[in-house]
Amino acid sequence: MKRRSLLAALLPPAAALLLAGCAGAPAPRIPAAEAAGTRFEIVILHANDVYEISPLDNGRVGGLARVATVLRDLERRAPHTLAVLAGDFVSPSLIGGLSRTVDGEKTPVAGEQMVAVLNAVGFDYVVFGNHEFDVSEQSLAARIAESDFSYVAANVRHAAGGAVAAFEQRGAPIPDYVVHTFTNPDGGELRLGLIGLTLPFNQASYVAYEDTLAAGRRAYEAAAAESDLVIALTHQSLDEDRDLARSLPGLPLILGGHDHINLKVTEGTTRIAKADANARTVYLHWLTHDTADGSTEVWSQLVPITNDIADDPETQALVDAWERTAEELIRELGYEANSPVADFLEPYDGREAEVRTGQTNLGQSIACAMRAADTAGSELAFLNSGSIRIDDRIVGRVQQRDVLRTLPFGGEIVHARMRGAILEMALDAGLGANLGEGGYLQLTPNVVPTEAGYAIDGAPLDREREYRVTMPGFL
């Protein structure tokens, strides 16, 4: 397959041309010699919620070596370029859940592969996501120490020995904000402030949170005193990002994470954007700012990461090395990663955009297998879609690695007696309030929503009787 530079396709070599297929949109300009004095043009590559170093969908989408190619193209064409990741990269993944022997001791990989590859890609700044705190305190400290990129965290603190203080990187506290200075050819400077915020979702024992809005305002005011322009890098829900935009109307751009499906909305004068998880897409944001009059323009383009983009050779070599390591560690557990276990004649859909918004054949098959594991005879089973992490369609030859990638969290399956009224509340939350989130439930197909509520095996759910239910222990 013939591949060409992504940016060559998107940005012909001129200072001000429309992106292909975007006629009528504001014209993004490549920073050039005329962007001098008080006028600056910045390009930010923005990814979020990246758990896999390799492509998905039989190699057709995603892949951090392709993201590296996009970034290299940007850096060649646009001297004022940044790359940021809006949280969730250390965990979970199949590779990250493995352990290897280091200095004679079994040590969890715990995201080491991801930090190594993100270093190779060339990210500049990250914010903590809730899944960074899935790993142990010691593992997270190791990942931070290994990171060439910088962390920014206004509301996340390290809790240890009764004291609460900032996490540390390179022997210094991780800051509430950073100020990145860009210099034009004539010596003019733009100081870009970046604040970092994380939702208080993961209550790990070694983590403490401040209120996001209060911490955000404190960080914003401090950053604004030292900067010409301030933006936010966040890992929280869209509603929380909207609250932040209303609280800090001076923010022109919020680079978001936590939501796994791409979005771009405006709250007041603030652009809020999030890309698709696992680098299926990345956002490119062009910011034009004049330090003389304080004016700012934002233009954003969602870029699909597909097999039309060549792999960056150095990054891909590192990805390949980690994939080989994973195969060896899986073999130590008694599995053969590439060993076939089944042939699927139709795709089994584990893509996050699907399992978090509706019932899929993969999700229902897992629920049925869980129900079948109950020798006492459960009447139904369900699981939260956030436990399905493969973010892929499985079709054709299914390998052991596919099974292991699907449910990397592990944990127990539990069987419980549940009153119909409580079951109804769980189903209402799992299919309603949690739609689009990891709490959305995948069900055995004998559970069907009806106008009156729910039917189980064709009979209306009885709020007074007890049902035997199978579900994950961590639900």
Q: Which two tokens stand for residue 155?
A: 């509301």
3-state helix, strand, coil in the chain (%, to 5): 30, 30, 40
Residue with tokens 């584990």: 350
DSSP assignment of 62-123 equals --HHHHHHHHHHHHHH-SSEEEEE-S--SS--TTTT-EEEETTEEEE-TTHHHHHHHHHHT-
Q: What is the pLDDT of residue 10?
A: 42
pTM of the model: 0.86
Closest CA to 286 of 82, 43, 34, 7: 43
Q: Which two tokens stand for residue 418?
A: 């549940």
Q: What are the two backbone dihedrals, phi and then psi, of residue 57, each rounded to the nearest 5 degrees? A: 55, 55
Does residue 7 sit in helix, strand or coil?
helix
Cα-trace Rg, the chain: 24
CA angle in degrees (0–180, nearest 5) for 258-253-292: 160
Q: Which residues pair with 471 in a beta bridge?
A: 414
Q: Which two tokens stand for residue 87?
A: 């949280």
- At 272, the amino acid letter reads I
| Structural domains of the chain in order of their starting residue, each with its CATH number | 30-314 (3.60.21.10), 337-472 (3.90.780.10)
Angle between helices 112-121 and 64-77 (to 10 degrees): 30
**Cβ atoms 275, 48 nearer than 8 A:** yes
Residue with tokens 């965290």: 153
- DSSP at 418: E
How far apart CA 233 and CA 86 sit, in angstroms, is 6
H, E, C per residue of 263-322? EEEEECCEEEEECCHHHCEEEEEEEEEECCCCCEEEEEEEEECECCCCCCHHHHHHHHHH
pLDDT in tens, the chain (475 residues): 334 333 443 443 322 322 333 333 333 444 443 455 788 999 999 999 999 999 999 899 999 999 999 999 999 999 999 999 999 999 999 999 999 988 889 999 999 999 999 999 999 999 999 999 999 999 999 999 999 999 999 999 999 999 999 999 999 999 999 999 999 988 899 999 999 999 999 999 999 999 999 999 999 999 999 999 999 999 999 999 999 999 999 999 999 999 999 999 999 999 999 999 999 999 999 999 999 999 999 999 999 999 999 999 999 999 999 999 999 999 999 999 999 999 999 999 999 999 999 999 999 999 999 999 999 999 999 999 999 989 999 999 999 999 999 998 878 999 999 999 999 999 999 999 999 989 999 999 999 999 999 999 999 999 999 999 999 988 7
